[in-house]
Amino acid sequence: MFFVRVNMTDRTFKVEETPAAYKYLGGRGLTSNVIANEVSPLCHALGPNNKLVFSPGILTGTSAPTSARISIGGKSPLTGGIKESNAGTSWAADLGVMNIQGLVIEGQPAEKGQYWGISVIWDGKPKVEFFDATQYTGKVLSEIYPAMYAKFSDKVSVCSIGMAAEHGYSNSGVVFNDMKKRPTRYSGRGGLGAVMASKGLKFIVLNRAGAPGMQIVDKALFEEGRKEMISALRTHAVTKPKGALNSYGTAVLINILNEAGGLPTRNFSSGRFKGAPMIAGEAIFESNKTRKGKEVYNHSCSPGCIIQCSNTVYDAQGEEITSCLEYESAWSLGADCEIDNLDDVALMNALCNDYGLDTIETGTTIAVAMEAGVIPFGDSKGAINLIHEMGKGTPQGRILGAGTATTGRVYGMTRVPVVKGQSMPAYEPRAIKGIGITYATSTMGADHTAGYTIAPEIMGVMGKQDPLSSEGKAALSRAFQATTAFLDSTGHCLFIAFAILDIASGYQGMVDEINGVFGTSWTAEDILKQGGDILKVERKFNEEAGIGKEADRVPEFMKTEPLPPHNTVFDVSDDTLDSVFGEL
């Protein structure tokens, strides 16, 4: 396995064997360790001393189901701390097949406004070629992606940044191609797109032709584990074919959370939105059925995915508006802004994809701007215009592109739903206490994927837990955060958790897959410990960056403003929050 280091200062590269310390790492485990070892926690996130690290998961590039995810790591310009963001894409699988365990982008060119692309090919080992990409700047991504395929062939995979990153926004992601070669698969959170732009890097194109493929030490054990994982995913109600995710996508959660009173609405001022059914996964399914004249089930975001939860939203003429509209996007651009026009929400999602904006941060930012009186709540056309302002880089657009926390400060707002500078996703901490603890204590800022306690609190996975109770939730969040840190290292999608937490053979299947690849004999306990070790590395980086336990808190308004309909506050004590990492 290889480390490829690309220096953007002088546009050189070197290929080396993976360092021994990283032999058994992949995905988040590798990106966080490289950043912790090689980047100063006090560096400027957009300066020359930050690095951007890409790593496929341990299983990415193999035939393990639903395992083609890429992790990106760096110091975040949004939070000021360590960041890992991941996405599902063929780009991830190609990196694994090319035996590139880590792709490290470092340095910074002296020329401002000059952008480069790199093409990575296989020539007995990975080889990097540079090309001038300045002509592709200042354009929407859907316009320039076809040019990359025309230039390099339709067999390549493409990673890029959009205009939001070129503007230096803390609300800018890194985009990858989906299965139809569209620029729609995002590592969206934390502003890593701006970090990539700061390196003068516009594209990373992978051509896997001739690559040797992933090496598997114990093929029999791997195959046994793979079969158990497939069986679990195909029988669990949430992940099976024509099940909840395949039918309604992640937006199936809109109605579920609304019923639970935990769907943040009107800038986190209520837990219910009367327009929720208009933008939910069921509405998308029924609208598509009417507009296409048949039932339209969802598709894969990446090779080998058997959950297939990525939807498409079509207009009245049966033409595609966007793909895909995730739960978080439908909520942030819809319920949080009190917008229930599905077509407009879908258009807003498409614009975010084109400009390179994180949909979660974009929606929560617009909601704060709405509360500030910039436009009224529910004004979908005004919201669409604000996204265009961000894309164009107008003065107001630049304020909004800096994210929810900055927008709140500029407009003097007190209800600003952020932790460590990153906006909260689509679950209300006052109504779902476990996820609130995760938001507060995650090393990544407010992040539902860091410890998805929604699984037991709302979905009843592993047994239903009372979402309004804080009893035992610190331990629950700790266990979920440690397990997730490792899961993010495997390359598997987070959504396998629904199946493997309910079906023990599925969990063991994941362990066997990994042991098959490495020739190791890890146990479930080893996995939990390794996840905890990743969190310790991230925690140490943040502390040295000045982000200590005092930052592990929800916003003040959530402790004092009761949330309808349950009229509860976030009543988890500081001591309880401090105990989450105190016992790792």
Q: Which residues of the chain have pLDDT under 70?
A: none
Q: In this structure, what token pair is assigned to residue 276?
A: 């929720």
Q: For residues 310 and 299, is the Cβ–Cβ distance under 8 A?
A: yes
* Termini Cα distance of the chain: 31
Encoded tokens for 217: 């030490």
**Residue 7 and residue 53: Cα distance in Å, rounded?**
12
Cβ atoms 436, 444 nearer than 8 A: no
Question: How much is the pLDDT for 567?
Answer: 98
Give the pLDDT score at 420: 98
Q: How many C-beta atoms surround the C-beta of residue 10 within 10 A?
A: 8
Q: How far apart are CA 176 and CA 158, in angstroms?
A: 6
The closest of 94, 96, 104 to 16, measured between CA atoms, is 104
pTM: 0.98
Q: How far apart are CA 388 and CA 14, in angstroms?
A: 40
Q: CA-CA distances (angstroms) from residue 282 to 76, 162, 279, 293, 330?
A: 35, 31, 8, 16, 12
Matching fold, domains 2-206 and 268-427: no
Put residue 441 in one of left, alpha, beta given phi > 0 → left and psi -120 to 50 → alpha: alpha
Q: Which two tokens stand for residue 553?
A: 């808190």
pLDDT at 582: 85
CA distance 264 to 273: 8
- Of the candidates 467, 463, 582, 461, the residue with the CA atom closest to the CA atom of residue 532: 582
Q: Is the peptide bond before 19 cis (omega within 30 degrees of 0)?
A: no
CA dihedral 307, 308, 310, 316 (to 10 degrees): -130
Residue with tokens 């709405």: 370
Q: Which fold has domain 268-427?
A: 1.10.569
- Report the distance separating Cα 89 and Cα 69, nearest Å: 6
What is the DSSP pairing of strand 183-187 with strand 52-56?
Answer: unpaired
CB atoms within 10 A of CB 242: 11
**DSSP secondary structure code for residue 562 in this structure:** P
Could you tell me which of 286, 101, 108, 80 has the C-alpha nearest to residue 190? 80
Rounding to the nearest 10 degrees, give the CA dihedral for residues 463, 467, 472, 475.
80
Domain 2-206, architecture per CATH:
4-Layer Sandwich (3.60)
Domain ranges, ordered by start, for the chain: 2-206, 268-427
